[in-house]
């Protein structure tokens, strides 16, 4: 019976000398041979293809090809299991020779920015087909590339460069928003080490470059009409010029105004957005509801290292509230109180204009929001005609026409924009401008929060409103509808309590 064959494994390295050690480059598995070995037989090494193997710096490691065999059997002479022979391996070498930005300095809001990178094959071999290198550009804080550097622009395929051949590649991109302050541009060829080359030390080239940030917008306090606009060293936050804002006060803005905006950067800031809004609850409240907002494009160009004059959002009229969306706070001594809310301003939201830091572009402040809320008093009026059946062409009256301001703001009144009161004859219990007008008057005096006012008709007595049913009115069921603020002049927190109605029969 013959002796069982032992198993042997043959491996190979590229080395700088004739000794296999830890610093040598082990060839990949496709150059390793393994199999049974009998007396007088041997193993043949597979072909080594450098283009398929990743690697590091092989400079000086391609002078010798070394092989070593290991066996499962006891070897009486292990000293002759390894050997080296001088060789010369031709390898490519991607070398970056220059990085040239199109401009000597870049402003963050003036992109895109082209950079020309020259790459040369400084090696002794042309890459095999399908094994070209990729080229990338990074933003770095120093003159060395590392994993923390920011990728700038899309990667570029260098193609197959012949020996000593060079080519210019242009990488174009916009500067990204970030809190880092880059000082260098770093170009890097073959960033994934996908191809074995003679030297990877020359795959990176970093150059110093000037970057001008177009601002770290910093928001200042709201300025009063007589307040100085000279900025202090450090803006002390956000404060409103008026602590109480009244909703929809005939075009009066709710103080969406700041003393100044600072630009902490080295470039002009322009084309940024501005948004002002009011939301429920105090600043920092959970799950706030936005009640109103206005947006515009910033009308100011912020100079580098400078500040703006006082800035106010145009057309910032607080109105358009849904019926009942804003109710007054609890009454104090019979007077409804304003509601605690938050006013906020934000600049350049989302970083549409790239800048160094976005975290301080928004400020909020607590405010008190007050509104008017007209309503007919409960229990004290109005009361309908004594007789609910009225003959066409005859007169009657409504008594106890008392209206109350349930809101927390005083109504304006005045002759310029008086509050209209109208009595109409309607086929239903709702007010419409198509209904038949029976009587009207204007309230010119402002009604304080919690105050009751009597709608007077001097023709029939100060506590009553007189009316006449038109002679041509069809007989049948009708409604008398009395509405306060019938022309919707006064913005209110609720409109559904402005109308009173009573059913009558016309014969």
Predicted pLDDT at 450: 86
Predicted pLDDT at 58: 52
Winning range, highest mean pLDDT, from 47-56, 101-110, 401-410, 466-475: 466-475
Same domain? For 301 and 413 the reply is: no
Same domain? For 439 and 339 the reply is: no
The answer to whether residue 6 scores a pLDDT higher than 80 is no
Question: Could you tell me the pTM of the whole model?
Answer: 0.48
456-478: average pLDDT = 83
276-297: average pLDDT = 76
Same domain? For 309 and 224 the reply is: yes
Distances (CA, A) of 59 to 91, 196, 460, 478: 10, 11, 112, 103
CB 308 within 8 A of CB 261: yes
3-state SS assignment for residue 29: helix
Q: Which residues pair with 412 in a beta bridge?
A: none
C-alpha–C-alpha distance, residues 280 and 278, integer Å: 7
C-alpha–C-alpha distance, residues 318 and 151, integer Å: 44
Q: What percent of the chain has pLDDT above 90?
A: 21
Same domain? For 311 and 348 the reply is: yes
Same domain? For 239 and 366 the reply is: yes
Domain, as residue range, for 15: 6-86
28-38: average pLDDT = 52
Same domain? For 390 and 291 the reply is: no
Same domain? For 162 and 284 the reply is: no
Same domain? For 78 and 143 the reply is: no
Q: Which of 364, 371, 293 is nearest to 325 (CA)?
A: 371
Same domain? For 224 and 363 the reply is: yes
Domain count, the chain: 4
C-alpha–C-alpha distance, residues 361 and 331, integer Å: 37
Helix and strand numbers (H, E) in the chain are: 0, 36
Predicted pLDDT at 216: 57
Same domain? For 384 and 362 the reply is: no
Does some domain include residue 118? yes
Question: Which class for 265: exposed (0-12), middle (13-18), buried (19 or more C-beta within 10 A)?
Answer: buried
C-alpha–C-alpha distance, residues 129 and 370, integer Å: 76
Same domain? For 267 and 378 the reply is: no
The answer to whether residue 285 scores a pLDDT higher than 50 is yes
Does some domain include residue 45? yes
Does some domain include residue 150? yes
108-137: average pLDDT = 83
The answer to whether residue 57 scores a pLDDT higher than 50 is no
278-285: average pLDDT = 71
Residue ending a domain, among 86, 110, 137, is 86
Q: Which of 130, 116, 133, 120 is nearest to 191 (CA)?
A: 133
Predicted pLDDT at 227: 33
The answer to whether residue 128 scores a pLDDT higher than 80 is no
Residue ending a domain, among 341, 370, 399, is 370
- The domain that holds 240 is classified in CATH as 2.60.40.10
The answer to whether residue 253 scores a pLDDT higher than 60 is no
CB 134 within 8 A of CB 117: no
Beta strands per DSSP E along 444-493: 452-454, 464-468, 476-484
Predicted pLDDT at 220: 45
Same domain? For 378 and 405 the reply is: yes
């Amino acid at each position: 019976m013959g002796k069982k064959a032992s198993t042997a494994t043959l491996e190979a390295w590229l080395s700088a000398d004739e000794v296999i050690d830890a610093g040598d480059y082990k060839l990949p598995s496709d150059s390793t041979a393994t199999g049974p070995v009998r007396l007088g037989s041997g193993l043949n090494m597979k072909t080594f293809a450098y283009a398929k193997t990743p690697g590091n710096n092989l400079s000086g490691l391609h002078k010798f090809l070394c092989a070593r065999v290991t066996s499962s059997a006891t070897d009486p002479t292990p000293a002759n299991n390894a050997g080296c022979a001088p060789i010369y391996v031709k390898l490519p070498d991607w070398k970056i020779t220059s990085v040239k930005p199109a401009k000597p300095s870049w402003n963050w809001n003036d992109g895109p920015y082209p950079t020309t990178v020259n790459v040369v094959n400084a090696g002794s071999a042309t890459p095999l087909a399908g094994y070209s290198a990729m080229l990338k550009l990074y933003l770095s804080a120093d003159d060395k590339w590392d994993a923390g550097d920011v990728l700038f622009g899309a990667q570029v395929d260098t193609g197959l460069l012949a020996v000593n051949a060079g080519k210019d590649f242009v990488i174009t991109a916009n500067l990204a928003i970030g809190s880092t302050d880059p000082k260098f541009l770093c170009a890097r060829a073959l960033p994934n080490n996908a191809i074995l080359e003679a030297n990877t030390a020359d795959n990176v080239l970093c150059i110093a470059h000037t970057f001008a940030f177009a601002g770290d917008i910093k928001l200042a306090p709201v300025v009063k009409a007589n307040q100085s606009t000279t900025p202090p060293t450090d803006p002390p936050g956000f404060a409103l010029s008026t602590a109480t804002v009244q909703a929809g006060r005939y075009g009066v803005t709710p103080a969406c105004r700041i003393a100044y905006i600072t630009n902490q950067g080295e470039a002009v800031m322009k084309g940024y957005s501005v948004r002002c809004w009011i939301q429920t609850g105090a600043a920092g409240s959970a799950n706030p509801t936005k009640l109103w907002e206005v947006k515009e494009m910033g009308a100011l160009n912020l100079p580098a290292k400078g500040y703006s004059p006082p800035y106010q959002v145009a057309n910032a009229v607080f109105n358009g509230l849904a019926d009942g969306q804003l109710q007054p706070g609890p009454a104090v001594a019979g007077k409804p109180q304003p509601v605690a809310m938050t006013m906020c301003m934000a600049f350049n939201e989302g970083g549409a204009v790239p800048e160094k830091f976005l975290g301080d572009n928004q400020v909020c402040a607590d405010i008190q929001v007050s509104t008017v809320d007209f309503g007919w008093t409960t229990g004290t009026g109005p009361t309908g005609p004594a007789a609910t059946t009225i003959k066409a062409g005859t007169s009657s009256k409504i008594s106890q026409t008392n209206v109350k301001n349930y809101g927390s703001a005083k109504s304006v009144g005045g002759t310029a924009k008086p509050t209209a009161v109208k009595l109409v004859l309607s086929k239903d219990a709702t007010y419409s401008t198509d209904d038949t007008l029976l009587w009207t008057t204007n309230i010119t005096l402002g009604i304080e929060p919690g105050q009751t006012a009597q709608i007077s008709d001097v023709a029939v007595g100060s506590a009553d409103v007189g009316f006449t049913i038109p002679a041509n009115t069809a007989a049948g069921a009708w409604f008398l509808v009395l509405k306060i603020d019938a022309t919707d002049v006064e913005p209110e927190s609720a409109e559904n309590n402005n109308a009173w109605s009573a059913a009558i029969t016309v014969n």
